[in-house]
Amino acid sequence: MSESQKIETLKADDDGVRKKIDDLKKIQSGLDKKSENYKLIDKMIKDLDVVSGKIKFQEKLLSDPKLEIRRGIDGKILPESLLGEGRIILDPKDLQEMLTSGYFTQDPDHMGAIMNSIKDKILAMDPFPFNDLKEAIPMTNPQEYKTVSTDVKKMFEDKDFGKNASSAICYSFVNFVMQKANGITKQDFASWYIDKVKTHDIGIGTNKAEKRGIFQGTGDINRNTYKTGSNASDGINYGTYHNADITSKNQLQNEIKMLNQSSANTAIIYIDTARDGSAGDHFITVIRNKETGVWETADHTSNEKWRRGNNAFSDENLKNIKRITYVD
């Protein structure tokens, strides 16, 4: 069956589901809203709406331009492919090869150069795309973050923009990776970053060297996925968002069990890089090995053994995990 035929089949399936929803709504309209039958039909409608959203997602995967995975003359994947435009469910092995290539190391020569390239695109825009930025305030929760409008353009013009932004870009970057790997976004990294800054989902943060940069998660960076598993505003179901801060060993074991039972092949863990029981300070991608089922670390910026290619949930690594995030 060709892709166009598959798309037509999916559209027909969705039409069938939407018809069932319309029929149920007609029945529901004649019922008392407080009755059990009304509530039962309401649940059936919501469940069918999710089915419709998932069908639409499969249709989008087929109809949208595909992310091109380019290779060099040596046959290896060019890691910058990950930053391109296009929608795809990435093969876990391909993703692991790109992330562990060293191309995305958070230093001025690698991620700094990527961020400077984005800066150049932003400064070439007319009009300038940002009127204000949201700033993360240390020791406060996101609801207390303030919007600032002074010297926004000046921050992008700073000669150290790339250096400062790349130094702590891990949270934003791994969330882009998760969305890209799961086909949630078709945007290239530059467009995704610019849009997230516009919507105040990425804003100003302060790195370990006490330097301000535009890298911090300051809003809902995963707007198309919800804990309820409901459809996004475009009627498409991009998956159910899971995000758990770890407070005990038992809770961590339960979260790992749920992750193993999920359909996810990529996840994000927040780790304590010092491995001394202190707070988390770095976000990395973990990838499910298709053959063994083991979740392997794929840190984009460190080649330390436990952070790259190691069993993410080995007994020795468990104490370093402070949060687990994934889309099912």
DSSP string, 93-151: HHHHHHHTTSTT-SSTTTHHHHHHHHHHHHHT-SS-S-S-EEEPPTTS-GGGPEEE-TT
Please determine, for residue 143, whether its predicted confidence score (pLDDT) is greater than 80.
no
Using alpha carbons, select from 188, 186, 169, 256 the residue that is nearest to residue 224: 186
**Amino acid 277: pLDDT:** 81
Q: How confident is the model at residue 274 (pLDDT cuts 50, 70, 90)?
A: confident
Q: Please report which confidence band the pLDDT of residue 210 belongs to, taking 50, 70 and 90 as the band edges.
A: confident
- The predicted pLDDT at position 264 comes to 96
Residue found under tokens 């070439």: 124
**Proportion of the chain in helix, strand, coil states, percent, rounded to 5:** 40, 15, 40
Q: What is the mean pLDDT of the chain?
A: 94
Bridge partner list, 308 = 298
The ranges assigned to domains in the chain are: 3-63, 79-217, 241-327
pLDDT of residue 141: 79
Q: What's the chain's Rg over C-alpha atoms?
A: 22
- Residues 221-226, mean pLDDT to the nearest whole number: 94
Q: How far is Cα 101 from Cα 69, in angstroms, rounded to an integer?
A: 14
Cβ burial, residue 274 (10 Å; 0-12/13-18/19+)? exposed
3-state class of 182 per DSSP?
Answer: strand
Beta bridge partners, 135, equal 146, 204
Rounded mean pLDDT, 211-240: 94
**How confident is the model at residue 96, as a pLDDT?**
96
Which pLDDT band holds residue 47 (cuts at 50, 70, 90)?
A: very high
- How many residues does this entry show for the chain? 328
As a whole number, mean pLDDT of residues 100-116 equals 97
pLDDT higher than 80, residue 150:
no
Longest dimension (CA), the chain: 68
Sheet with strand 295-298: strands edge to edge: 241-245, 321-327, 266-271, 282-288, 295-298, 308-311
- Residue-level pLDDT at 275: 86
pLDDT for 167 equals 92
Whether the predicted pLDDT of 280 surpasses 90: no
**Average pLDDT of the segment spanning 271-292:** 91
Q: What percent of the chain clears pLDDT 90, i.e. is strictly above it? A: 87
> In the numeric block, which tokens belong to residue 177?
């990776």
Q: In angstroms, rounded to a whole number, what is the distance separating the alpha carbons of residues 49 and 325?
A: 25
Cβ-contact 85, 186 below 8 angstroms: yes
Q: Answer yes or no: are the C-beta atoms of 145 and 137 closer than 8 Å.
A: yes
Q: What is the pLDDT of residues 51-96, one digit of tens each?
A: 999 999 999 999 999 999 999 999 999 999 999 999 999 999 999 9
The larger pLDDT score, comparing residue 142 to residue 320, is at 320
Q: What mean pLDDT comes out for the span 106-128?
A: 96
Other CB atoms within 10 A of residue 259 CB = 22
Lowest mean pLDDT among 129-143, 213-227, 238-252: 129-143
